[in-house]
Amino acid sequence: MIHFRHRLLALRDAELALRAELAQSGEPAGGYSPRLRQLHEANARELELIIDDEGWPTPDVADVDGSEAAWLVAMHAVSRPTFMRRCLGLLQAAARRGDVPARHAAMLEDRIRALEGRPQRFGTQLCWQDGVLTPLPIDEPDTVDQRRAASGLAPLAETVATARAAAQSDGAPPTEEWEASSAILDALAKEVGWR
């Protein structure tokens, strides 16, 4: 357990350090820094090696923080569609067994569907529309809170209100930065084969 838990935590810490460095450098919040993309790709390769050797890092074998770090690496592997889909299958199987929180699989599924340009199922992916933080389109929105509850997620309205309050207190990026970031991610999704 110990050896790859520390590897996973090192991946998480490297991303946190780079994000802090980029924020201090005055780099705009929108966009996708080439350095951040490079780090995400390196972290994905490292997680892939762990998965190949050990399977999905569940809390039983990587502790709770190591398993959470693995999920974050998978969430950020946006330039690796095949790998993200593999992670989703592993997370869904682990969630069905009760080995990982079902919310991890739900959030990764929504991230993948958003990258593919499809409506999400759980409403976990948000964007700025007309200056308001709003969920991306949701498939079968009338039953989204039932799916969220089954995955251990709070009701959608509560989550959106919390995200809006956090964005306001953190000083959300200007709309033009968000639009630039969205355009960059759309171009990335096409470049790497999500769409």
Query: Which of the four pLDDT bands, split at 50, 70 and 90, describes residue 132?
Result: confident
The structural domain count of the chain equals 1
The domain of 134 spans 2-192
Banded pLDDT at 178 (limits 50, 70, 90): low
Q: Longest Cα pair distance anywhere in the chain, in angstroms? A: 47
Residue 153 buriedness (CB in 10 A; 0-12 / 13-18 / 19+): buried
What are the residue ranges of helices labelled H in the chain? Answer: 2-24, 34-54, 59-75, 81-97, 102-115, 144-150, 156-170, 175-192
Query: Which pLDDT does position 8 carry in this prediction?
Result: 97
Bridge partners of 127, per DSSP, are 134
Give the tokens for residue 182: 């969205």
Whether residue 179 is predicted with pLDDT greater than 70 in this model: the reply is no
How many CA atoms are closer than 13 Å to the CA of 92, on its beta-carbon side? 10
Q: Which amino acid is at 162?
A: T
Identify the band that residue 2 occupies on the pLDDT scale cut at 50, 70 and 90: low
What gap in Å lies between CA 79 and CA 41, rounded to an integer?
7
Average pLDDT over residues 100-108: 98
| Mean pLDDT, residues 29-38 | 84
- The predicted structure's pLDDT at residue 167: 78
